[in-house]
């Protein structure tokens, strides 16, 4: 149920040679604008924590930790209270508000101070991260044999008349969701599934809510305007902000010149597509778009070679 929609059953079936000692529940909203996880934490803390207990048992893990950003004091307080009421052995970590704090590798570093090496997965450092929505869904599946039929969706931005969080059935069309939220504003310019940094622009309203639809962001025309790309001025801002320690400027240049081997040598596949480099670039270079394309070319090449 997290932004990347990585399959839960895979995370819950680690190979025998990768024992898991720590389960981290992700209560950090993955992107700005989105509040669906926050809402769920306030409304269903018990369900989430009991789901977490089930996951801990499946993984045979010893430690259960929950990471929540410190701009959600009500969620932190609620979780600490319910943990104490249910007498569960879990600990809540209050984290700095920082993007992309909700990315798996960053969350593991912040909560248990372990670094997931390049090209490796959280299970390589004995950790599994699950979204709070996943924990609630696991509880429903185990306690009630109920499949995933609905999810909380944040409908937000200056392009919608009544922004709110809605509990939407999987398969509900965007147009029905928007109608329920008072309809689109006249000057709506762009509809994004997800948040402003990693979300995907949509070209139709005839699209269904799916498991990964954590939010629908509607920007107005002014906010959606594209700036004209200019030349890189080598300011290094993109390098300073990259949470993975990459050199987005170089990666973008390699991809522009079809130098995919060089991009691979500069670890293009480690990019988590957080969008921070594009956001800070004063030359308005769409670095994350170039890098995404570069990643797909490198993967294609690898598949051909194997």
* Binding of residue 233 to ligand SF4 (CB under 6 A): yes
Distance in Å, CB of 257 to ligand SF4, minimum: 14
Cα 286 off chain centre by: 20
* Binding of residue 237 to ligand SF4 (CB under 6 A): yes
Rounded CA gap, 31 and 28, in Å? 9
* Binding of residue 295 to ligand SF4 (CB under 6 A): no
Rg (CA), the chain: 20
Contact 176, 152 (CB under 8 A): no
Q: Report CA dihedral (29, 34, 35, 36) to the nearest 10 degrees.
A: -90
With H, G, I as helix, E, B as strand and everything else as coil, classify residue 1: coil
* Binding of residue 265 to ligand SF4 (CB under 6 A): no
* Binding of residue 282 to ligand SF4 (CB under 6 A): yes
* Helices and strands (DSSP H and E) totals, the chain: 13, 9
Distance in Å, CB of 208 to ligand SF4, minimum: 28
User: Which span (60-68, 164-172, 229-237, 297-305) binds ligand SF4, by CB under 6 A?
Assistant: 229-237
* Binding of residue 276 to ligand SF4 (CB under 6 A): yes
User: Which span (73-81, 153-161, 221-229, 283-291) binds ligand SF4, by CB under 6 A?
Assistant: 283-291
Residue in 10, 118, 167, 235 binding ligand SF4, rule: CB under 6 A: 235
Rounded CA gap, 116 and 121, in Å? 7
Token reading at 222: 């002014």
Q: Which is nearer to ligand SF4, 62 or 284 (CB)?
A: 284
* Binding of residue 274 to ligand SF4 (CB under 6 A): yes
User: Which span (22-30, 117-125, 147-155, 230-238) binds ligand SF4, by CB under 6 A?
Assistant: 230-238
Residue in 30, 272, 294, 295 binding ligand SF4, rule: CB under 6 A: 272
Size of the site for ligand SF4 (CB under 6 A): 29
Non-local CB neighbours of 6 within 8 Å, separated by 6+ positions: none
CA-to-CA separations, 257 to 118, 181, 250, 252, in angstroms, rounded = 25, 45, 11, 9
* Binding of residue 30 to ligand SF4 (CB under 6 A): no
Rounded CA gap, 215 and 156, in Å? 8
Interacting residues with ligand SF4 between 87 and 146 (CB under 6 A): none
Q: Which of 217, 200, 211 is nearest to 172 (CA)?
A: 211
* Binding of residue 238 to ligand SF4 (CB under 6 A): yes
Q: Which of 122, 271, 248 is nearest to 198 (CA)?
A: 271
* Binding of residue 281 to ligand SF4 (CB under 6 A): yes
Q: Which is nearer to ligand SF4, 25 or 277 (CB)?
A: 277
* Binding of residue 4 to ligand SF4 (CB under 6 A): no
- Can you spell out the DSSP letters for 92-134? EEEE---TTTTSHHHHHHHHH---PPTT--GGGGTEEEEEHHH
Residue in 246, 255, 263, 290 binding ligand SF4, rule: CB under 6 A: 246
Q: Which residues bind ligand SF4 (CB under 6 A)?
A: 232-238, 241-244, 246, 248-249, 271-277, 280-283, 285, 287-288, 291
């Amino acid at each position: 149920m997290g932004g990347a929609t990585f399959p839960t059953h895979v995370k819950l079936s680690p190979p025998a040679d990768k024992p898991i000692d720590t389960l981290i529940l992700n209560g950090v909203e993955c992107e700005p604008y989105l509040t669906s996880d926050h809402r769920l934490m306030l409304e269903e803390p018990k369900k989430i924590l009991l789901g977490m207990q089930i996951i801990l048992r499946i993984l045979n893990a010893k430690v259960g930790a929950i990471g929540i950003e410190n701009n959600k004091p009500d969620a932190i307080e609620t979780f600490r209270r319910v943990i104490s009421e249910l007498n569960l052995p879990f600990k809540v970590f209050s984290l700095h508000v920082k993007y992309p704090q909700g990315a798996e590798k960053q969350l593991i570093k912040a909560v248990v101070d372990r670094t997931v090496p390049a090209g490796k997965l959280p299970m390589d450092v004995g950790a599994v991260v699950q979204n709070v929505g996943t924990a609630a869904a696991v509880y429903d599946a185990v306690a009630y044999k109920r499949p995933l039929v609905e999810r909380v969706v944040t409908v937000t931005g200056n392009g919608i008349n009544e922004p709110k969080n809605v509990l939407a059935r999987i398969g509900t069309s965007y147009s029905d969701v928007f109608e329920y939220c008072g309809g689109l504003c006249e000057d709506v310019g762009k509809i994004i599934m997800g948040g402003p940094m990693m979300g995907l622009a949509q070209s139709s309203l005839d699209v269904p809510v799916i498991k990964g639809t954590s939010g629908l962001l509607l920007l107005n025309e002014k906010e959606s305007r594209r700036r004209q790309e200019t030349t890189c001025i080598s300011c290094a801002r993109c390098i300073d902000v990259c949470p993975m320690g990459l050199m987005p400027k170089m990666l973008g240049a390699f991809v522009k010149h079809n130098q995919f081997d060089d991009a691979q040598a500069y670890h293009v596949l480690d990019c988590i597509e957080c969008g921070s480099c594009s956001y800070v670039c004063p030359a308005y270079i769409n670095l994350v778009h170039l890098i995404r394309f570069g990643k797909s070319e490198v993967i294609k090449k690898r598949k051909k070679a194997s």
